[in-house]
Chain A
Amino acid sequence: MAGTTTTRIYDCPSAQPDMAGARPFGVLAGSVGVTRIAFFKKDAIQNFDWRERFATPEATQVFRFAARCEKSACGHYDDAVDKCSLGSRVATALPPVTDALPPCLVRPSCRWHAEQGSAVCLRCPQVTTMIPAGQGPLQSIAAPTVPHTKSLCDSD
């Protein structure tokens, strides 16, 4: 199942609230030091008008958002292999934090799951889109590694 993802439209599971098709699928839980995502059940999101108060970029400090994958417009998308490099790093560089697949509403359309399979789902609950300064392991895998992200220092 994991691998063939070029033609379908997928969702990014670490998106911003202003992206196309954005909707929260979990809320930050755990503790200040060890953050985990608490996943929304269907009834929670169906009855929650999140745009009323949480449509700002800062909302990623409270929720995890999914939205339409922006593919090449995103610094994490690797055009060479048509895959999300962030999903790959999450699947390979982070330890699993759950024994069973989380009840995730995004999975049917999730790019990370389509490309990495269940391995990424076991690691996903520790991912926060807005990473606080000093959270080492998360920060080190979050930086885009795809070559088309040009640094400001590279300008002529």
Chain B
Amino acid sequence: MATKKRVETVSLSSLSKSIDTAVGMATKRHGVSLDNGNVILNWEILGRILREMDLSGRDTRLDVAATITKNVVGIKGQPVVTKVGKDILVGFIERSGRTFSF
């Protein structure tokens, strides 16, 4: 029986990887030069990017935290990365001096 020819689909979870592959192909085909790694500032995707990073790459994760801080309009913050169990928390501590009651 002949194999069915199906097209590929791209979901949110595979988007970043698919774009990297396509950029790599474009580089080979057209000789264009593009930065490695695509920049997607949607917060939902950052988790995947972080999971794929080398766990020892603390500086890289700090870059991501800094990027978040830089792009959150109207907030001054200190980028922070920490690991709790299997989860890596990336974010910032606000510098506004606001106090929170619990």
Q: B22 near A62 (CB under 8 angstroms)? A: yes
- Total chain A interface residues with beta-carbon distance under 8 A: 34
Q: Is the CB of B30 within 8 A of A132?
A: yes
CB of B60 closer than 8 Å to a CB of A: no
* Chain B interface residue number, banded: 20 to 34
Contact between A49 and B10, CB atoms less than 8 A apart: no
Is A58 on the interface with B (CB-CB < 8 A)?
A: yes
Q: Are A52 and B26 in contact (CB under 8 A)?
A: no
Query: In the complex the two chains form, what is the Cα distance from A44 to B44 in whole Å?
Result: 11
Report how far A40 CA is from B11 CA in the complex, Å. 6
0 or 1 for each of A22-62: is its CB under 8 Å from B? (1 = yes): 00001111011001111111011011110011000010011
Instruction: Give a binary string over A98-132; 1 marks a CB under 8 Å from any B CB, 0 the rest.
Output: 11101100000000000000000000010000101
Contact flags (1/0) for A61-93 with B, using CB distance below 8 Å? 111000000000000000000000000000000
A100 to B7, CA, bound (A): 8
Complex formed: what's the CA distance from A32 to B28 in Å? 7
A97 in contact (CB, < 8 A): yes
Question: Which residues in A have some Cβ–Cβ distance to B below 8 Å?
Answer: 26-29, 31-32, 35-41, 43-44, 46-49, 52-53, 58, 61-63, 97-100, 102-103, 125, 130, 132
